[in-house]
Every structure is written in C-alpha cells, then in structure tokens.
Amino acid sequence: MKIKMLAGKTIEINVDLVKERAKCNFNIREVTHILDGGEKNTIQRKKIEDISLNDGQSRDVIPEEYLSPKERYENAVKKSCIYARIIKTELMNMTGLETLGFNSPVFRRIADAYFKEVTPLLAHFGMFVPTIMGQCTPEQLAHWLPRALNFEIVGTYVQTELGHGTFIRGLETTATYDPQTEEFVLHSPTLSSYKWWAGGLGKTVNYCVVVAQLYTKGVCHGVHTFIVQIRDEETHMPLPGIRVGDIGPKMGYNTGDNGFLVFNHHRIPRENMMMKNAQVLKDGTYVKVARHEKLTYGTMVYVRVMLVNEMAFNLAKAVTIAVRYSAVRRQSQPKPNQPEPQVLDYLTQQHKLFICIATAHALQFTSDWLYKTFTSVLADIRDDKIDTLPELHALSSCLKAICTSDCAAFIEICRFACGGHGYMASSNLSMIYSYVSATRTYEGDYTVLLLQTARFLVKAWEQVEKRRPVTSTISYLSHAFDKLKKPWDGSNEGIIRAFQRVAAGKISACINCIRYHQKSGKDFEDAWQLTTIQLVAAAEAHCRAVIYDTYYNETIRLTASSSPNVKSVMEQLCTLYLLYWSLERTGDLLRFTSLSEKDIFDLQQRYEKMLAVIRPNAVGLVDAFDIRDEILNSTLGAYDGRVYERLMEEALKSPLNAEPVNSSFHKHLKPFMQGKL
Ligand SMILES: CCCCCCCCCC/C=C\CCCCCCCC(=O)SCCNC(=O)CCNC(=O)[C@H](O)C(C)(C)COP(=O)(O)OP(=O)(O)OC[C@H]1O[C@@H](n2cnc3c(N)ncnc32)[C@H](O)[C@@H]1OP(=O)(O)O
Ligand SMILES: Cc1cc2nc3c(=O)[nH]c(=O)nc-3n(C[C@H](O)[C@H](O)[C@H](O)COP(=O)(O)OP(=O)(O)OC[C@H]3O[C@@H](n4cnc5c(N)ncnc54)[C@H](O)[C@@H]3O)c2cc1C
C-alpha cells in the first residue's frame, strides 16, 4: 500500500495501481472531458455529484442483500424521497431544467450511489414524465407536468399485459367513451388483459399512463394513452374499480415494485385522454390530429434512445471494476522463479477487457449522436414534417437491440475476468448484469426490434434498386450494385466499407430469399416469416456498420484538438474495436469481401499488437470514466484497489457472522449428525 492524498483526504492505494497510474502516458482529465461532452459538462457533473453524495445520505449501513424483500422496497422508497428531494430542491434550481433535463445522464449516475437495484421512481422519471411531455396538448401539459415534476403525483407507464407485450395492437384493455357523462370507462375484459410489469405500479405510484383500445360511437380506433388515477392522493388506497399489486420476485429490479393492474369499469374524465395526436370530442366524435399514427409510440422511441447511453455507462462501470481488479490481482507463474504476474498482463485477459473499454467509448459516442438525431427528428415533427421518423425508428430499434445485447455479454465477460471474486454480490457485477440483461427484453425485445429495422432496410433496398435517393445511414446501399469486389483494405476506413458491404450483401440475400419464396407461391407475409433469421442478421450487420462508422468519425471529430497522446489512445481503442469485430466476423468478410486467409493472419497480428500498445494505459483509461466509488459500489473496483480488505470487511457484515454458532446447528444439524433425526 502507498499513502496518497486524494481530494484533500489521505488514502492508502494499492501499490500496483500506483505503478499503473504512473505508466499512463495521456492526460486522463482530457479523456474524461471528451466522454462527458466537454469540460463544462465535467465540471457540472462533479458539482452535482458533490451536492448529492458528499453528505453520505445515499449510503446504506447494512448491505441491501441482508434485508427482506419488504424491507428492501421500503428502504428504496426512503432513499428515493431523499434522492428526488435533492433533484427537486437543489439540482433543478441550480442548473435549470432546460439546460440539464430531468433525465440527464448525471442524475442517472448519481442514482447508482443510492440504489443497488433501482428506484421505484424509475418509471416516473424515465417514462411517466416523458409521456406527459410527448403526448399532451398544451393545456394538458400545463395541468399535469408541474404536478409530476414537483412529485405532487407519482406515476408510471402501464402498457404491457399478461397476454401481450410486443404486439401493442393486440392489447385488450378497453377505454370506452360515454358521452352521457363525458367519461372513459376503463375495463380489463379477460385475464390476459390484466396489466403486468409496469415499474413502481405495485405499491408506489398513484397515477399512471395507461395504453388501451379506444372505443367511441361503437368503433375501435386502436391503442391510445390515458392518464389514470389509481390511488387516493391522501390515503394511497386503490380507488374503486381498481385492483393493483406487486408481481413478485424477479431476476433483478426487485426494489422496483413492478405491478399488475385490473380495471373494473373504472371511469376517468374525458380530459384525461392524452390528446396531442388524437382527440375525442364531447359528443364522442373521434378526430385524428397527428400525421403519423405511430406517434403514440413516442415514449418507447425516447426510452430506446436513452437506453444506448445507459448501456455505455453500465459497461464503463463493469470494466472499471474488472480492469482495476485485474491490475491488483496476481495469479500463476508462467515463468519459473519469476513473481506471479498481474492478471492484466495475460494476453487473454487483455482480450476480454480492452474491447469492453473500446465498446463503452463506441456506445457513448453512438448514443450522443443518436440523441442529436432524435432531437432533430423531434424538431421536424414539431414543424409537421414526419418523413424522418421511419429512419429514427429503424435506428433506435436496432441500436437499442445491439447495444443492450453487447453490453450484457461484455458485462458477463467482465465478471469472468474477475474469477471467483467477480461472483460475490459485493463486486456489484451481478447486480449490474441483472439490471442490463433485462434491457435486452424491455422496451422492445431484441429480435422484434431488429425485425422492425429489417422492414426499413428491405424498403430502402427497393428504393435503391429504383435508383431513388435514400437517407444518410443507408447511403452505403447504393454501392451494393458495384459488381467487382474491391481488394481487401485493412485500414479503418477500409474495414468500415467492408462491413457496409457485408450489411448490403445480407440485405440483398434477404430480398432474394423473399422473392424466391414468393415465386414459389408464398404470399409476402409467409415469405417474410421464412426469411426472418436472415433478416435479423441483416439488421444486426447494418446496425454494426452504423456503430463502426459513427465511432470512427466521432473519434476523429472529438479528438481533433486534443493533445497528441489523447488523440492516439482514443484512435488505438477505435482501431482495436474494428479489428476485434473483423476477427469475430471473418465468416461474413470471407463471404462478402475479398478478405483472404493471409489477411486474417495480419488482422490477428495487428489486434494482438494493439492489445500490447493499450496495456500501459489500461488503468488510466478506466480512471478516465471518472466513476466515483459510491457509484461503482464494488469491493473489487474501488479507486484505491484495497480489494482483499474490502472483501473481508463486507464478509464481516453478514448476519451469519453475528454469532459464533447458528441455532440451526443445535436444532437440525447436530441431531442429524448424531443419528437422532
Ligand atoms: C434512476 C432514476 C434516474 C432518472 C433517470 C431516468 C433515466 C431514463 C433513461 C432510461 C432508462 C430507463 C428507462 C426506464 C425503464 C423502462 C422500463 C421498461 C418499460 C417498458 O418496457 S414499456 C413497454 C415497452 N413495450 C414495447 O417496447 C413493445 C414493443 N413493440 C412495439 O414497439 C410495436 O408493437 C412493434 C413491434 C413495433 C409493432 O407495432 P405494430 O404492430 O403496431 O406495427 P407494425 O409492425 O404493423 O408496423 C407498422 C408501421 O409502423 C412502424 N412503426 C412501428 N413502431 C414505430 C415507432 N415507434 N415509430 C415509428 N414507426 C413505427 C413500423 O416500422 C411499420 O412501418 P412500415 O409499415 O414498415 O413502414
Ligand atoms: C424488468 C422489466 C420491466 C418492465 N417494465 C415495464 C413497464 O414499466 N411498462 C410496461 O408496459 N412494460 C414493462 N415491461 C414489459 C416489457 O416491455 C415486455 O416484456 C417486452 O416488451 C417484451 O414483450 P413480451 O414480454 O410480450 O415478450 P414476447 O413478445 O412474448 O416475447 C417472447 C418471445 O417471442 C418472440 N417474439 C415475439 N413476437 C415476435 C415476432 N413478431 N417475431 C419473432 N419473434 C417474436 C420474442 O423474440 C421472444 O423470444 C417490463 C419488462 C421487464 C422485464
């Protein structure tokens, strides 16, 4: 251990980590600023973290794992109120809602210091407020938004039912307009129509956005959104006509009280239909306002966009833990009479971890770019231009699918990289994993969303065939008709072009397959179904090509005025990412490009050399994510590297250690061992 001063405090730091930090050849702060989107953002983030975390209110004395499910939930509610009060009274005023935003990644980061799993208010922040913002008329907005932002009401987003999650048009809950009383009657006609899953619904919220089939004048107009009060604002008792409760234990999100909701002819005022995109007049006349019927799905698009950022952050957390631990951990003796190396020195360990650092950068830059695309499409929609929406839907769908899936896979690799200690709850890797693995399913299942992107790609291909112009993210398709395979070019640009060729080749193969089935008598829907395995693969290839291109171009743009070593380490990571995926996808490259066996050998050599080049900067790179210990919440990943000390300290907190002999010994084990049971 070495004593060091950090932020005015004296702390002991593991000597290997001290050496690692001394080896780092680039300015860590500069990289942090790039990842935060500028120095101003870093300063603001740190100020917010100090305000929210320095008084220690976020910390639990007893680890959550030792509490009962009920106690864990109650503890999460208590902390949610502290957390929400700080956001409401100290942070919003300080920064201004318009500059920071309610769902700012900064608030999101702080939340992890408060909640090991999730806050029961997650869906209030993440879905209820955004739906009010996106689906209300100005009058409705003026009524509901201040109440929700002030936490006078807390809400969630209630869409999924026992019988349907993916197929929204198949939802069964009805909202039938009664012109006599100017009310909607909400009803759950079948068991499969019971609402299921919404976060915070079980015990926490008193309002929700409900998605239901709208009936007026005897006609069904499809799914629409309604603001529904479900609990009394004073007593919190469920209102008449409402049955509501918690759905029980899950793989994760256990402090999130996901709930069920059953309506028995429950009445709400006509004004509670969210009327930005469609209206029901007092006499029951239905009026369509929006030019695109899928604008009702806007909250889902928003959350899919936000989830890409969420993935970048979660992977940054996991790889910070795994790299710091790998620098501290020593194991085996590859050479006789030599000291045991740090496990980070093993090439295979570098192969597991450096791609995770690069992926966290790739996802961060892609997420920032996607968010900009999202806000620009939102501006178009405000100007009544809806032609950019399909591309946003296609992009947000595939990026949500691939980023959540890759992130979950890489977090699990981070756990493998930490050996047995990675399996300890106190490493926090299992909690991060269970949180992230759900994101592959919620807000649109992986396969289903890739098939949405595939619809867009197939249509785009037909446009390209007709030599019509297509939008920027698919402009590469125009080159797909070049007959000659270009010689393999292993530069970064060459690799990106090669993967665009792979994507185009896969889309083309899907088109051929669909047409083949149609020619043999199948209708389009059947031909589509028979092609779905390939369609999913094509959408994945397209998505990866978008990520490669964005990561590469954003790295160049964002480091244009950086110091030489920062520029170079960021470029090294980007190159590593491209080489990694080239080696992972040699089959595709052999099929669609002129890659040879010799080229694969060269790629492998370059990849391994790049691991060695990045190695001295590995700890510096994870330090640059600048994630505070309170947020990492990990015995293995703390800044000081006191891994074994922390593991022991946490073990001693186990209630089983409070007494030398557990009563079960006398009650069960001893009689059994003595043959008396
Ligand atoms: C800790 C607190 C701190 C505060 C910080 C908060 C941080 C926030 C960050 C976010 C993090 C966490 C978020 C909160 C947690 C969320 C929990 C999970 C919540 C949920 O899961 S809610 C439920 C979500 N459900 C789904 O996603 C269902 C998925 N299904 C669908 O989206 C659709 O049904 C469908 C699969 C797309 C099919 O729909 P449909 O059958 O109606 O449509 P078609 O297939 O026939 O297509 C017709 C046509 O429409 C196009 N289209 C479909 N969807 C859209 C769309 N959304 N936008 C635009 N266009 C769309 C489709 O492509 C077709 O076009 P085409 O005909 O081909 O031209
Ligand atoms: C932790 C968590 C929190 C959630 N929070 C909320 C919430 O706050 N509010 C809310 O409304 N919902 C919420 N959900 C529900 C979530 O949105 C759905 O579970 C999700 O959209 C998947 O739908 P599903 O469960 O119907 O899966 P299904 O659609 O039944 O999927 C089952 C399988 O069928 C496949 N499949 C389905 N349709 C097709 C198709 N057309 N083609 C090919 N394969 C298909 C899928 O790929 C999957 O493999 C939450 C879920 C979880 C896990």
Q: What letter does residue 91 receive in the DSSP assignment?
A: I
pLDDT of residue 4: 64
Residue 519: pLDDT band (50, 70, 90) is: very high
- Is 452 close to ligand 1, i.e. is its CB under 6 Å away? yes
What would the CATH number be for the domain defined by 299-622?
A: 1.20.140.10
Phi/psi of residue 149, nearest 5 degrees: -70, -30
Residue 102: pLDDT band (50, 70, 90) is: low
* 0.95 surpassed by complex ipTM: yes
Instruction: Tell me how far apart the alpha carbons of residues 267 and 255 are, in angstroms, rounded to a whole number.
Output: 30
The one catalytic residue among 20, 30, 412, 443: 443
Whose CA is closest to atom 32 on ligand 1?
444
pTM, rounded to two decimals: 0.97
Best residue for ligand 2 mutational test, from 171, 442, 529, 540 (most atoms within 8 Å of Cβ):
442
Cα of 630 from ligand 1 centre, angstroms = 33
pLDDT of residue 505: 96
- Is 294 close to ligand 1, i.e. is its CB under 6 Å away? yes
State the Cα angle at 97 between 92 and 100, rounded to 5°.
90
pLDDT of residue 482: 72
Instruction: Tell me how far apart the alpha carbons of residues 63 and 374 are, in angstroms, rounded to a whole number.
Output: 39
Cα of 296 from ligand 1 centre, angstroms = 9
Nearest ligand 2 atom to alpha carbon 160: 11
Residue 483 has pLDDT above 90, yes or no: no
* SS3 call for 118: coil
Instruction: Tell me how far apart the alpha carbons of residues 390 and 510 are, in angstroms, rounded to a whole number.
Output: 20
- Is 441 close to ligand 2, i.e. is its CB under 6 Å away? yes
Instruction: Tell me how far apart the alpha carbons of residues 508 and 534 are, in angstroms, rounded to a whole number.
Output: 10
**What's the whole-number mean pLDDT along residues 457-475?**
93
Q: Which residues contact 265 (CB under 8 A, 6 or more apart)?
A: 185, 186, 187, 241
- The identity of residue 123, as a single letter, is A
Among 155, 166, 161, 152, CA closest to 127: 155
Instruction: Tell me how far apart the alpha carbons of residues 197 and 388 are, in angstroms, rounded to a whole number.
Output: 31
- Is 125 close to ligand 2, i.e. is its CB under 6 Å away? no
Q: What letter does residue 221 receive in the DSSP assignment?
A: E
Whose CA is closest to atom 50 on ligand 1?
294
Whose CA is closest to atom 8 on ligand 2?
198
Distance set, CA 456 to CA 401, 417, 451, 526, 547 (Å): 15, 38, 9, 18, 17
Instruction: Tell me how far apart the alpha carbons of residues 186 and 263 are, in angstroms, rounded to a whole number.
Output: 6
Whose CA is closest to atom 42 on ligand 2?
448
Instruction: Tell me how far apart the alpha carbons of residues 413 and 358 are, in angstroms, rounded to a whole number.
Output: 14
Instruction: Tell me how far apart the alpha carbons of residues 639 and 637 are, in angstroms, rounded to a whole number.
Output: 6
- Is 442 close to ligand 2, i.e. is its CB under 6 Å away? yes
Cα of 398 from ligand 1 centre, angstroms = 11
Instruction: Tell me how far apart the alpha carbons of residues 59 and 532 are, in angstroms, rounded to a whole number.
Output: 48
% of the chain with per-residue pLDDT over 90? 89
- Is 322 close to ligand 1, i.e. is its CB under 6 Å away? no
H helix runs in 86-188, sequence order: 92-95, 97-100, 105-114, 122-123, 129-135, 138-149
pLDDT digits (tens, 9 = 90+) for 625-648: 999 999 999 999 999 999 999 999
- What average pLDDT does the structure give for the chain? 95
pLDDT digits (tens, 9 = 90+) for 385-395: 999 999 999 99
- Is 165 close to ligand 2, i.e. is its CB under 6 Å away? yes
Residue 269 has pLDDT above 50, yes or no: yes
pLDDT digits (tens, 9 = 90+) for 485-502: 788 999 999 999 999 999
Beta bridge partner(s), residue 269? 183
Whose CA is closest to atom 24 on ligand 1?
443
Q: Which residues contact 23 (CB under 8 A, 6 or more apart)?
A: 616, 617, 619, 620
- Is 119 close to ligand 1, i.e. is its CB under 6 Å away? yes
Residue 293: pLDDT band (50, 70, 90) is: confident
Instruction: Tell me how far apart the alpha carbons of residues 135 and 275 are, in angstroms, rounded to a whole number.
Output: 7
Best residue for ligand 1 mutational test, from 49, 389, 393, 459 (most atoms within 8 Å of Cβ):
393
Nearest ligand 1 atom to alpha carbon 112: 1
463-476 residues labelled b (16+ CB within 10 A) or e (exposed): ebeeeeebbebbeb
% of the chain with per-residue pLDDT over 70? 97
- Is 445 close to ligand 2, i.e. is its CB under 6 Å away? yes
- Is 168 close to ligand 1, i.e. is its CB under 6 Å away? yes
User: Which residues carry a binding-site annotation for FAD?
Assistant: 160, 199
Cα of 118 from ligand 1 centre, angstroms = 22
* SS3 call for 254: coil
Cα of 253 from ligand 2 centre, angstroms = 16
Residue 71: pLDDT band (50, 70, 90) is: very high
Cα of 396 from ligand 1 centre, angstroms = 9
* SS3 call for 660: coil
Q: Do the bridges between strand 195-198 and strand 9-13 make them parallel or antiparallel, or are there none, so unpaired?
A: unpaired
Nearest ligand 1 atom to alpha carbon 103: 5
pLDDT of residue 98: 46
Q: Do the bridges between strand 155-158 and strand 195-198 make them parallel or antiparallel, or are there none, so unpaired?
A: unpaired
pLDDT digits (tens, 9 = 90+) for 115-160: 999 999 999 999 999 999 999 999 999 999 999 999 999 999 999 9
**Helix/strand/coil percent split, the chain, to 5:** 60, 10, 30
- Is 389 close to ligand 1, i.e. is its CB under 6 Å away? yes
**What's the whole-number mean pLDDT along residues 49-54?**
91
H-helix or E-strand spanning residue 524: helix 524-530
Q: Which two tokens stand for residue 230?
A: 């479900």
- The identity of residue 438, as a single letter, is A
User: What is the Rg, in whole angstroms, of the alpha carbon atoms belonging to the chain?
Assistant: 27
State the Cα angle at 97 between 94 and 102, rounded to 5°.
110
Nearest ligand 1 atom to alpha carbon 304: 10
Residue whose structure tokens are 């833990």: 321
Catalytic annotation present for 443: yes
Residue 204: pLDDT band (50, 70, 90) is: very high
Cα of 446 from ligand 2 centre, angstroms = 9
Q: Which residues contact 591 (CB under 8 A, 6 or more apart)?
A: 502, 505
Instruction: Tell me how far apart the alpha carbons of residues 549 and 494 are, in angstroms, rounded to a whole number.
Output: 11
pLDDT of residue 107: 86
Best residue for ligand 1 mutational test, from 77, 296, 300 (most atoms within 8 Å of Cβ):
300
pLDDT of residue 103: 66
Instruction: Tell me how far apart the alpha carbons of residues 55 and 110 are, in angstroms, rounded to a whole number.
Output: 13
Q: Where are the domains of the chain?
A: 25-116, 131-289, 299-622, 648-677
Cα of 300 from ligand 1 centre, angstroms = 4
**What's the whole-number mean pLDDT along residues 93-119?**
77
Ligand with an atom nearest the CA of residue 212: 2
Give first-to-last CA distance, the chain, whole Å. Answer: 52
- Is 303 close to ligand 1, i.e. is its CB under 6 Å away? yes
pLDDT digits (tens, 9 = 90+) for 534-573: 999 999 999 999 999 999 999 999 999 999 999 999 999 9
pLDDT of residue 428: 98
Following DSSP, what letter does each residue of 360-412 receive, concatenated? HHHHHHHHHHHHHHHHHHHHHHHTT--TTHHHHHHHHHHHHHHHHHHHHHHHH
Phi/psi of residue 39, nearest 5 degrees: -60, -40
- Helices 597-614 and 564-584: crossing angle in degrees, nearest 10, is 140
Looking at 2-6, 230-234, 566-570, which range is the least confident one? 2-6
Residue 100 has pLDDT above 60, yes or no: no
Best residue for ligand 2 mutational test, from 160, 172, 196, 300 (most atoms within 8 Å of Cβ):
160
User: Which residues carry a binding-site annotation?
Assistant: 160, 199
Q: Which residue has the higher pLDDT, 590 or 61?
A: 590
Instruction: Tell me how far apart the alpha carbons of residues 223 and 173 are, in angstroms, rounded to a whole number.
Output: 9
Q: Which fold has domain 131-289?
A: Butyryl-CoA Dehydrogenase, subunit A; domain 2 (2.40.110)
Among 208, 221, 204, CA closest to 272: 208
pLDDT of residue 572: 98
Instruction: Tell me how far apart the alpha carbons of residues 571 and 573 are, in angstroms, rounded to a whole number.
Output: 5
